[in-house]
Amino acid sequence: MEETPEYKDKNEGEIPEIKVETKTKKPEAMKEKIPANFSSTKLWLKVVVGLYFLSIIMAFILITKTPQKKSSYKNDFSKIISLASKDGIGIISVSGPISQADSRNIFERGSSRISVKIKKMSEKKNIKAILVDINSPGGTVGAVQDIYAAIIRAKKKTKKPFVARIGDVAASGGYYIASACDKIVSNPGSITGSIGVIYSMGNYEGLMKKIGFKTETIKSGKFKDIGSPSRQMTKEERELLQSMIDDAYSQFVEAVSTGRNMSLEVVKYLADGRIYTGRQAYKAKLVDVLGDFQVAVDLAGEMGKLGKDPKIVRDIDSLDQFFSFLNVKTDIFSRLGAERFLAVGPRLEYRWEGF
């Protein structure tokens, strides 16, 4: 019997390598899909936001669009031109706290913008009188005086009559502006007056001591940090600020005395900061006529020799209307009262604090 030859495996003692194919996806492949899905989500978010704002704009256009009467005459441009050039009264609105515009904020509508509107409106040939519709508690001294000066300048240049109408409130700086007009109309229950000046600021010295916070000030003069909230006011600083208040107050009194044709003594008696209803102001001769908006319109029409119920021209551009609409619906441009002290700081104001 033949012997079977001995077979020796050259790989004896070694563990054979077993290759197993799996269908598991590589991490790299999974990573590639995550950014793609994420970017797709971002795209949809942009589309949704875009459609949202587009719907607001379209709604605004539909709301503000004035329906026009159908004319039986086609292409009758002469009627359109005659309607646009028809004589009427212009209306300028002054609403909310009055201040200078913040150049960094495109939504800000400050006193300079109102002054420009007064100038442009008064220079239009078809505008025979201006109605200043005021609903404001006043504001900073400089901003209020800007609008006041614009009215005085327009009256002197164009010789056109100005009528002020007091809405809910025209106090302090609001009344300062009204006094520049030839006549003032107020509802019996409107709030006006508050003739005076105020300078308010906070004092955080006690709080800073409790939390262990201290400020160090290096200044060129002893009054350089006047109004600092980190320390008590000195007697000299209080006297200095009071002299500023007195000077700004005298300017207010003189403006009312000139505009209302009243003696300084009478105005000073009325100008102790108190507020009046429209009826009380009428008795004190701070107001000429008691009535609503239509009464003010009729008075402006008669003073402009147009008669009662004249054509009304409002100088409101589309941007103003759009932002006003957003402000009413979403209140996204409103400000907290604390900002006056925390962000802006103390200011000299013709302003009623109760609004």
pLDDT in tens, the chain (355 residues): 445 455 455 555 554 554 545 455 454 544 444 455 555 666 777 777 777 777 777 776 666 665 555 544 444 544 444 455 689 999 999 998 998 875 555 445 588 889 999 999 999 999 999 999 999 999 999 999 999 999 999 999 999 999 999 999 999 999 999 999 999 999 999 999 999 998 887 777 778 778 888 777 788 888 887 877 778 888 998 899 899 999 999 999 999 999 999 999 999 999 999 999 999 999 999 999 999 999 999 999 999 999 999 999 986 654 555 555 454 444 444 443 444 444 445 667 877 776 5
Backbone angles phi, psi at 167, to 5 degrees: -85, -120
Fill in the DSSP letter of residue 26. P
Q: Which of 153, 147, 154, 149 is nearest to 133 (CA)?
A: 147
Q: If you search the block for the tokens 């209020």, which residue do you land on?
A: 144
Output the pTM of the full model. Answer: 0.70
Model pLDDT, residue 84: 54
Q: Which SS3 state, helix, strand or coil, does residue 169 take? A: strand
Model pLDDT, residue 334: 44
Residue 129, Cβ density class (10 Å: 0-12 exposed, 13-18 middle, ≥19 buried): buried
Domain ranges of the chain: 86-351
Task: Name 134's bridge partners.
Answer: 94, 166
User: Concatenated DSSP letters for 204-234?
Assistant: -HHHHHHHT-------SSTTTTTT-TTSPPP
Report the 10 Å Cβ neighbour count for 290: 16
Q: Which SS3 state, helix, strand or coil, does residue 163 take? A: strand
Model pLDDT, residue 319: 52
Model pLDDT, residue 19: 52
Q: Are 289 and 168 in contact (CB under 8 A)?
A: no
How far apart are alpha carbons 118 and 208 in whole angstroms?
47
**Half-sphere exposure (Cβ direction) of 175: Cα atoms closer than 13 Å:** 34
List the catalytic residues. Answer: 172, 224
How far apart are alpha carbons 267 and 286 in whole angstroms?
9
User: Concatenated DSSP letters for 306-354?
Assistant: S-SS-EEEE---HHHHHHHHHHHHH-TT---TTHHHHTS---EEEE-TT
How far apart are alpha carbons 302 and 229 in whole angstroms?
53
Model pLDDT, residue 340: 46
DSSP E strand boundaries for the chain: 88-95, 127-136, 138-140, 162-171, 183-186, 191-193, 198-199, 275-277, 289-290, 311-314, 348-351
> 86-351 adopts what CATH topology?
2-enoyl-CoA Hydratase; Chain A, domain 1 (3.90.226)
Structure tokens at 258: 């000139």
Q: Which of 104, 105, 250, 256 is nearest to 171 (CA)?
A: 256
Fill in the DSSP letter of residue 284. T
